Structures are given as C-alpha cells and as structure tokens.
Structure 1
Amino acid sequence: MLKVLILSLLIISCLAQAESIDNNENKQLTMCVSHYPPYQVISSNQNPMGENIAVTRYFFEKLGFTIRFTENNTFWRCLAMLEAGKVDLMSGLLDAPERRKFAHLFAYGSLNEKLFYVNNRKLKNISTFSDLKGLKVAVLRDIKQFKQFDNAPDDYLEKVYVSDLDAAIRVLVAGKVDVFISTDFLYLDKIKNINDEVHRIEEVVVKLDHASLLFTGLSKKSKVAHLEPKFAELSKAMYESGEFKKIINEFKLQYPEYYR
C-alpha cells in the first residue's frame, strides 16, 4: 500500500512539472525503433510493439506524453539520432559511460539470458559465460552484450565484430567463428526457411550469471530533458516495485509467438 501511495505522489509531481512546459509545446515524444524481436517488433502491417516499446509507452503516457515512432532503423542510427537530439527516446540500452554523455538512462528491466548460435555439436553444451573461454565469438559491432562478456580480458576469448545478423550467420556457417551471440529469438527460424546451410546451426539459450540492467535513454537534447530528476525518481520506484516487470509479463502472455 505504501509503495502504491509513493508511486501516486511521484506521478502527480511529474505531471505538475510536465505542465510547466509551454502549453503550446507539443507533448509528443519521438522514439527511435529497430526490429529486434521480442524487444522491438517492427512490421508494415501493425504498430511497433515489443517489451521495450510496451514499457516505454506505458511510462511516458502515464505522465501525459504521447509516443510516436520512427521507421525501422539500425541500432547504430538510433544511437546517433539520440545523441544528436533528433529523437527523444531509445530503449533496450545497456549501461555504458559513453552513452551517459548524451543520454539520461532509466532502468526498467534486466537481461538474464542470451542466445548463443553454434555450428558445432560439440559446443551445444555451452551453458555459462566461462564456456566461451578460448573461443572465437561473433558479435554485432558497438552493441553491448552483458557485463562479463563486454569486460572480458582480451586474452580470454576472441571477439569478431560484424555489421549485422546476416554477416554473423555467414561467418558462423563458414567456420570462421565458433559462436554468435544474439538476443533475437526469431531470427534463426526466419533464415532457415531461405538458406539450407543454416540448418546445421543450433541455438543454445544461456542463463546469465549476472543479469545486466536494461534502460530507456532520454536524449539530453530533448525538450523534456530538464524533467530527468523526476523521471529518474519515478522509474526507479516503478522498477523496484515490479510495475515494469508486470507490463513485460503481460506482453509475453499476449504475444507468446515471439518467445517460442
């Protein structure tokens, strides 16, 4: 009961500050999106959806703002647009000092599992980060994975950076890497329908020893950046109370097809 009262008071306070913005100013915020199921699902026949989108829309609409979405962009373009202030929001970010230079980060969830793609049956038993020792691992350039991997010493494993998911699959099929790390739960099924060589690749779902927090980023050049203290206070309370987790669980129940 006390948590509910605290959340209510925080919302009232945030709404009051939001009203301090010029009444003639549009209350619409722009969120940059990338197709990356189940976190962000972008298709031509429906509005953007996904875990990240559900919690971001829920949070800001609760505060009186509406959200419009960009067309499907690459992750890197979204980061650049956030830094330049061309969009207000981006979600699904892991923490990094360079990102805090241009964005305020609000935690809403945690990443507790990753997909490891392997092209060697001997590697099917990978279950923890330590199993990657000595292997060549493909990852998308400039995308954070999880703390242990991102901070691994150079001599622990060899990181092979690729530009996109297609390139990662190509080097894996060719045997140039041992493992590819991703979070797209539907990607392999899609490409198996068009590429016979990919049928040798198998997925291994790995539970992470130490979960990494997931954040929504608010550009420091956004028209609402000055509301960051109140946004941060409210998002912290909602994360700790499990309110964000409830929204994510509701999305999972409504769209089980994105989780197999």
Structure 2
Amino acid sequence: MKKLIALLLLCLAFQPALASARELVFAYNLFEPWKRLDAHGQPAGPYTEIVRALAGRLKLPLRFLQCPLPRCLSAMRQGRADLMIGVRPTPERLAYLDFLEPPFASSNHLVFYQRRGDPRALARYDDLLPLTVGVAEGVSYEAGFDRDLRIRRDASPGMESGFRKLAAGRVDALIVNASQGAALAARPEFAGRVTRAPLTLDDRHPNRLALARRSPLRADKARIEQALRGMMADGSVARILAAAGR
C-alpha cells in the first residue's frame, strides 16, 4: 500500500512538468507575405512571428505542421493541430474552431488581378459576372462575394497556382488579399503578365487566432487569451505588424 501511495504521489508530482512540456502545433498554410518561407525554407512573416511570440509567452515548444489550407483545417478538425492564424470564421468552421479574443487586427483589403492587355473592364462588381474568377481552395473572402452564386469560380490549391492559371489564360480574373497579391505579382514569373484591376472589396471582419476545439490546449484557453491580451497591450503585436507594413 505504501508503495502504491508513493507511486501515485510521484505521478502527481510529474503532471505539471508533463503539461508544461506539451508542444503547440501550428497548422501552417502559406499565405504570403504574412506566412511564408524564408531563403532557408523556414517559416517566416508577421503572422508567423505573432504565433512564435505567443508560444514563447506560454512557454510551449512550437511545432509547425505545414499543409495546404484544406489539410490544415482538417488537422484542426481532428485535433492534430492546435492553432491557426489568418482564417475567417464560417458557420462550418465554428463547429471545430474556437476563435480567440481579442482580435489581433481588423479588415482585409481584397483586390482583383487580370492578365495584362485584357480589354475587359473590371471596375464594378457586375463586371465579374461574365468572367471566371480564380480563388484559393478553402478560402473565405467577403460575405457577399462568397454567397454570390452568379460568380463562376475556379479553385486552386493556393494563390501561386492561381496566378499561374491567370497568366496562362485559364481564368479571367483572380481575387486575392492586397498584400499577398502585390508580393506574388512582383515575382519575375508574373511581372509584366498580370495587372491589378480597379475593382476592390473590403471585408472588415476582425482577425482572430483559432484554437482547435479538440485540442488538448483548449482547457488552457483562458491562459492563451490572457497571453494574447498582454501582447496587444504592450504593443508586441502592433510592432510585428508595423514592421511588415500591415
């Protein structure tokens, strides 16, 4: 009996250490320039740095699970990943994602690209209706656009492949976050072949980090939100975003 009690006490004593050793798994889909790979193939960009700083405050080792957006969402649904950043809440996602407070940023400036030399005007929303618009698979944009069944969409695994389709004439236009679009359009592969159209859309939803509802860390949601509030209050998030021109 004494040996059993001693063993139980030993197990209890090790519980905090085991909990503190739990890693934070970051479901990481590329979203330039906010989530990208540097010259050494390592995760970089302001959204990446926000999560790195948060993991540091929580004293949790950070592991990147690199995946296309649909696969990242699947990992979150299954509880194989803990955290995502840069995804919008939708009714479907709310079933398996818990969006954290406070928001770390607000508004999403959406722009459209066409092939250079395309004579078709793209200055008004209705100008989209005769066109096939390239989108990224699994991405939500602006509520009205997302619900508009008149829009013909062509989905690509990511915006890089979307730009390739646009340059090759396989889609007529492309909707993209303004900063991401500018970064991709400036690449030698696309420079001179695509041009930004006058039409823009603004989606002023608040940007929040998402915690998987099936994550073992969901029990620590209050502590995670407290750390995030601290980063907002002391200007850490603002400095990271300002350095990237957000």
Indicate the TM-score class for this superposition, using the shorter chain for normalisation: 0.7 to 0.9
Q: Would the aligned equivalents of 1:37 and 1:186 in 2 still touch at CA under 8 Å?
A: yes
Q: Would the aligned equivalents of 1:109 and 1:215 in 2 still touch at CA under 8 Å?
A: yes
Q: Which amino acid aligns with 2:68?
A: T
Q: 1:136 aligns to what? A: 132
TM-score, normalised to structure 2, is 0.74
When residues 215 and 78 of structure 1 are mapped into structure 2, their CA distance, relative to the original with a 3 A threshold, is same
Offset of 1:245 from its aligned partner? Answer: 3.2
Computing the radius of gyration from Cα coordinates, the structure with the larger value is 2
Q: Which amino acid aligns with 1:116?
A: F
Structure 1 residue corresponding to 2:89, chosen from 95, 98, 109: 95
CA distance in 2, matches of 1:57, 1:135: 40
Structure 1 residue corresponding to 2:185, chosen from 181, 185, 188: 188
Offset of 1:216 from its aligned partner? Answer: 1.7
Q: 2:171 aligns to what? A: 177
Offset of 1:23 from its aligned partner? Answer: 2.7
Secondary structure at 1:22 match in 2: helix
Superposed CA deviations along residues 49-100 of structure 1, whole A, max 9, x for unmatched, are 2121122222342233332223x32122211111111121121111112112
Q: Would the aligned equivalents of 1:104 and 1:228 in 2 still touch at CA under 8 Å?
A: no
When residues 207 and 232 of structure 1 are mapped into structure 2, their CA distance, relative to the original with a 3 A threshold, is farther
When residues 233 and 169 of structure 1 are mapped into structure 2, their CA distance, relative to the original with a 3 A threshold, is same
Q: 1:33 aligns to what? A: 28
When residues 235 and 133 of structure 1 are mapped into structure 2, their CA distance, relative to the original with a 3 A threshold, is farther
Q: Would the aligned equivalents of 1:141 and 1:162 in 2 still touch at CA under 8 Å?
A: yes
CA distance in 2, matches of 1:129, 1:204: 11
CA distance in 1, matches of 2:32, 2:136: 16
Offset of 1:240 from its aligned partner? Answer: 8.7
Q: 2:37 aligns to what? A: 42
Counterpart check, 1:217 vs 2:215:
no
Offset of 1:118 from its aligned partner? Answer: 0.4
Q: 1:77 aligns to what? A: 71
Q: 1:150 aligns to what? A: 146
Counterpart check, 1:250 vs 2:237:
no
Offset of 1:31 from its aligned partner? Answer: 0.8
TM-score, normalised to structure 1, is 0.71
Q: 1:16 aligns to what? A: none
Aligned sequence identity (%): 20
Structure 1 residue corresponding to 2:105, chosen from 96, 109, 124: 109
